A and B are shown apart, each in its own frame.
Chain A
Amino acid sequence: MDFLRPASWEEALAAKAEHPTAVPIAGGTDVMVEINFDHRRPEYLLDLNRIGDLDEWEVGERTVRLGASVPYTQIMENLRAELPGLALASHTVASPQIRNRGGVGGNLGTASPAGDAHPALLAAGCEVEVESLRGRRMIPIDDFYTGVKRNAMEPDELIRAVHLPKADGPQQFSKVGTRNAMVIAVCAFGIALHPGTRTVRTGIGSAAPTPVRARAAEEFLAAALEEGGFWESGQALPPSLAQQFAQLAAGACNPIDDVRGSAAYRRHAVGIMARRTLGWTWESYRGGAHGTKGGAQCA
């Protein structure tokens, strides 16, 4: 095994071009587990810790450019207003020690359907900035996940940042697990209201081969909100509407039975989380008590 320590982004791209099988390591919270358990013996480890740029974020007028290695702790502490859904999701990642090291780049690179960031990234709608010596490209998050632990990246590419729109409405995240800390999601759900475009976006984790959006649920809800004049009136949503949204969200799942939960349970739980998170975000939109402030709420 060789340990590559590029001092700059350009050096990292050159190293990845020369050794496309090199495994990038930033927080190490996934890679080191695999090495410790001898599940993986990469020929090259490509350390990204020395590239300061990856730990930085930039809040622009409309978007946030989030460096691939910005630790979840920093997202929780500094970007709660701009990226409320991702901040809530970050708070459910493992433990403080892990959140101090892990970042969104690792979740995207691994592309496990159980990654906690994915539902929030899908719901916010974002672009992943990847680069190789051949050039830079922005991959829309909707095209990023291509299969179980597979993504749209080429072997010579590295993730540099994620570009997320600043929240223009309430966002929520909910996750089912056996306890509060140190838990891999049984399933998870993210929702973002986008009053500016009068749309709603969602993300489902751990309930399909890849992270997915509940598109039918989104379209149904956007149409129902529009037709009912809910965006203007800010009226409470009828329970039947929330119920229909929940059913469609559950229908977007394509889960498996495994040790963490059965497929039937996951479908059911995603429906419940969809209904509740819709309730929380809508109350927040109406100016109610449920905001995205404070800690994660129990679903």
Chain B
Amino acid sequence: MRVTFTVNGRRQEADDVWEGESLLYVLRERMGLPGSKNACEQGECGSCTVRLDGVPVCSCLVAAGQVEGRDVVTVEGLADFARQRAERGGCAGGVCGTGLDEAKRWAAKPAAEEQAGGQSGGPGELSPIQQAFIDAGAVQCGFCTPGLLVAADELLERNDSPSDADIREALSGNLCRCTGYEKILDAVRLAAARGESRTAGQGA
């Protein structure tokens, strides 16, 4: 069957989708977006977490056919998504979102280029939560990171100054076998603190 839905702000189509296929499989194997990770395939690990119509879900447990006409944000589109949210209105006319080719080429900007180039807004730009994960040393092997980023970003969208209990609760569906979680908690606290200081700077 054919499935058409919005991925990271742009309409995409997948053909020859098997009826029992998961959204995760379509994203990774048919759309070339391997950011969402495939691990447990039973909703235990959270490494495949994406936003479905804004709601964090395990994409391995969503049947591809259920996504028809709906809106998905993956880690590849997270920076763009966060930028549009910060600008509040989203995109004013014209094409918005992250193109599939652009998303497939996504890579974190090397440090040297970051310093030289500054904020360009293109691929390689990081969302505040992504930058916080790097700065706090919350990434080790990196396998769980995409799911944690999507879940943590959604937490901060709802709650800009979460308590430790709020953070633990929001991330309770994401397993990490490297970090022991402390640095991940640090990263979310850091992103929240930076968000607050930014708001304070605007006098809001």
CB contact under 8 A between A45 and B173, given known A36-B41, A96-B151: no
- Stretch of B14-22, B73-81, B82-90 with 4 or more beta carbons under 8 angstroms from chain A: B14-22
Give the CA-CA distance A97 to B22 in the complex, in Å.
15
Contact string, B50-66, partner A, CB cutoff 8 A, digits 1/0? 00000111101111011
Contacts of B169 in A (CB 8 A): 96
- Other-chain contact of B43, A35, A49, A94 (Cβ < 8 Å): A94
Residues from 151 to 186 in B contacting A, C-beta threshold 8 Å? 151, 169-170, 172-174
Residues from 34 to 89 in A contacting B, C-beta threshold 8 Å? 35-37, 41, 45, 47, 49
Q: Is the CB of A28 within 8 A of B63?
A: yes
Q: Is the CB of A28 within 8 A of B61?
A: yes
Q: Is the CB of A47 within 8 A of B55?
A: no
Residues from 98 to 137 in A contacting B, C-beta threshold 8 Å? 98, 100-101
Give the CA-CA distance A47 to B3 in the complex, in Å.
14
- Give min CB distance, B44 to chain A, whole Å: 6
Contacts of B66 in A (CB 8 A): 25, 28, 47, 49
Give the CA-CA distance A3 to B65 in the complex, in Å.
7
Contacts of B46 in A (CB 8 A): 95, 97
Check if B49 is an interface residue, CB within 8 A of chain A: yes
- Give min CB distance, B65 to chain A, whole Å: 4
Check if B68 is an interface residue, CB within 8 A of chain A: yes
Give the CA-CA distance A41 to B18 in the complex, in Å.
12
Q: Is the CB of A181 within 8 A of B173?
A: yes
Residues from 180 to 196 in A contacting B, C-beta threshold 8 Å? 180-182
Contacts of A49 in B (CB 8 A): 66
Interface size, B (range): 20 to 34
- Give min CB distance, B5 to chain A, whole Å: 12
Q: Is the CB of B172 within 8 A of A182?
A: yes
Contact string, A1-39, partner B, CB cutoff 8 A, digits 1/0? 111010000000000000000000101110111011100
- The residue in chain B whose Cβ has the minimal distance to the Cβ of A29 is B61
- Give min CB distance, A236 to chain B, whole Å: 31
CB contact under 8 A between A98 and B20, given known A29-B43, A36-B41: no
- Give min CB distance, B169 to chain A, whole Å: 7
Give the CA-CA distance A100 to B62 in the complex, in Å.
12
- The residue in chain B whose Cβ has the minimal distance to the Cβ of A44 is B19
Q: Is the CB of A45 within 8 A of B20?
A: yes
- Other-chain contact of B63, A25, A94, A95 (Cβ < 8 Å): A25
Check if B1 is an interface residue, CB within 8 A of chain A: yes
Check if B42 is an interface residue, CB within 8 A of chain A: yes
Q: Is the CB of A36 within 8 A of B22?
A: yes
Contacts of B41 in A (CB 8 A): 33, 36-37
Q: Is the CB of B173 within 8 A of A95?
A: yes
- Give min CB distance, A85 to chain B, whole Å: 20
- The residue in chain B whose Cβ has the minimal distance to the Cβ of A32 is B61
Give the CA-CA distance A35 to B170 in the complex, in Å.
27
Residue positions of B touching A, CB distance < 8 A: 1, 18-20, 22, 41-44, 46, 49, 55-58, 60-63, 65-66, 68, 151, 169-170, 172-174
**11 interchain pairs, CB-CB under 8 A:** A28-B62, A29-B43, A32-B63, A36-B41, A36-B61, A37-B41, A41-B20, A47-B63, A95-B174, A96-B56, A101-B62
Residue positions of A touching B, CB distance < 8 A: 1-3, 5, 25, 27-29, 31-33, 35-37, 41, 45, 47, 49, 94-98, 100-101, 180-182
